[in-house]
Structure 1
C-alpha cells in the first residue's frame, strides 16, 4: 500500500497512486523503470538511456594490444553523451532507486513491468553491444628488398559478424582499386607500400539493424545502418589496433513484417 501522500481517490472510491515528478523519467515522463544513474547524476529509465544517449566512435576508441580479441574483453559501461546535459558519462543500474519506486508505487511499477514485457514480446526490439576492432599489422622491408616496401594488412574485426552485411574499405586514391567490399570475414586487405595514410571503412549492418551512435550514417536502404571508421596505418612495432564498443538495435518493423508473413502463411494453410 502506498502512503497517503502518494495516492488519490478516484470517483469509484479506489486509491490511485500519483507519482512525484522526482520519480518520473525525464525522457519518457513515466515512472522510472529499471532505473539507471549516470555519472553526471541524472536518473533515467534504462531503455531511455540506451536509446537516447549520444554514443560516438571517437569517445570509445582505445588503442589496445594487437593480441586482444573480442572474447578477451569484458564489456564495461559505454561512455556516451548524457541525454539531459550532453556531458560524457556512463550509467549503472540502481537497485536502490528501483527498490524505492517499487515500494512507493507498487501498482504503477507492476503495470510498467507488464507493459515492458508486452512491448518486448510484440516488438522484439533487441539492443546488443558490439566490440569493434580496427587496425593493421605490418612486416618491415627485408634486407634484400631494395624497394623498401612495407607488407601491411588492414583489418576490421567485429564481435558479432552475423549482423554485418558488408564492410566497405576505402584506400588512398593512388591504389589501382581504392574501393573494396568485404561481404564476409575476414574484413581485411593486404598491400605493399612505403608510406602511411588514412584508411576509411564503412561497417554496414544487415537490413533491420541500426547503429545507436551519433557517427552512424544513412544508406539508401536504411537509417543509421552505416558506421564510418578511420584508421591511420601504423608501421611501428608490428602494427597497432584500437577498440571501441557501440550499441546496435534491431528494428521492430522487420519483426512485425516477418510475423505478418508467417501468420498469413498459417491462415492460408
Structure 2
C-alpha cells in the first residue's frame, strides 16, 4: 500500500479537467492547443510529432535563428493527431496554483528533479534550406547559384548529404562540417535533396525522419526547388530532436 508521500496526485484532484490526459497528473505549466486540448507543457513537447512540411516557411534570406518554445511549434496533437500548435495558459496556471497550492508546488519540485535526472532531453533546432543566385548579365549565360542548409546548432550534426540532379558530374556530395552548401553553374531550376544526419545519440522527433544503418530516426530528408528570382530564397523549419547522449555515454541499452 502506497504511503501518503507517494500517493498519486490525481487522487486529490477535484476536477478531471485539471488532469493532464497524457501523464494523468495535475496539469503543470498548462498549454492549450488550437484543437482545444489542454496538456502539461512538457507532455506536449515530448509527445507532439513535428512535420517538416507543415513547418516549412519562406523567410527573408538574412533571417537568423532565434530561440523558440518546442511546445508552440506546429505539430500533430498527441490526443487527436491533427496539426496544431499550443500556447501557454498563464490564467489556468494561476487558477491551478490557487486551487491546489501544495500540490502544484510539489509538481514544480518533481518537475525540476525529473529534468535533472532525465536521461533523455528534448532540444530544439532551427533549420534553413534555400539558395542564393547571381543572375547572368547575358541571357545566354549560366546562373551562378549556391544551395545551402543552415542549422542553428551544428554540434549535433554528423553530416549533410546533398543530392543534385543526376545530370551533374558529381550529383552526391557529403558535407561533414558547416557550411553545408554547394555552388554550381546551371541553366534551369530543379529539386535539390538533402539529408541532415544527426550524431550518434540524437534523433529527430518527426514523422519525416528516417533510419540510417547506424541509428533510428537519425536522418531528416529535405527538398528544395532552386529559386532563380531576385537573389534567391530560403525557408525555415523549427524542429525537435531527442538527446540520448547520456545514455550512450553510460553504455545503457546496448
Counterpart CA distance in 2 for 1:256 and 1:55 is 24
User: Pairwise mapping of residues 130-145 of structure 1 onto structure 2 (< 5 A)?
Assistant: 130-143=125-138
Counterpart CA distance in 2 for 1:125 and 1:117 is 14
Deviation at 1:112, TM superposition (A): 2.6
List alignment gaps of at least 5 residues for structure 1. Answer: 1-9, 11-15, 262-269
**Whose radius of gyration is greater, 1 or 2?**
1
- Corresponding residue for residue 189 of structure 2: 196
* Compared CA separation, residues 183 and 121, structure 1 to 2 (3 A): same
TM-score (structure 2 length as normaliser): 0.86
Partner SS for 2:109: helix
Out of 156, 163, 176, the position equivalent to 1:163 is 156
Moved more, 188-197 or 112-121: 112-121
Q: Residues 209 and 250 of structure 1 are in contact (CA less than 8 Å); yes or no, is this contact kept in structure 2?
A: yes
- Corresponding residue for residue 221 of structure 1: 214
Counterpart CA distance in 1 for 2:210 and 2:98 is 43
Moved more, 215-224 or 170-179: 215-224
Deviation at 1:104, TM superposition (A): 2.8
Partner SS for 1:115: helix
Counterpart CA distance in 2 for 1:58 and 1:235 is 22
> How many residues are paired up?
241
Moved more, 227-236 or 18-27: 18-27
Q: Residues 211 and 248 of structure 1 are in contact (CA less than 8 Å); yes or no, is this contact kept in structure 2?
A: yes
Counterpart CA distance in 2 for 1:31 and 1:50 is 17
Out of 159, 162, 172, the position equivalent to 2:165 is 172
- Corresponding residue for residue 104 of structure 2: 109
Out of 26, 29, 42, the position equivalent to 1:31 is 26
Out of 89, 95, 100, the position equivalent to 1:100 is 95
Deviation at 1:20, TM superposition (A): 2.9
Deviation at 1:74, TM superposition (A): 6.3
Find out whether 1:123 has 2:114 as its counterpart: no
List alignment gaps of at least 5 residues for structure 2. Answer: 5-10
- Corresponding residue for residue 67 of structure 1: 62
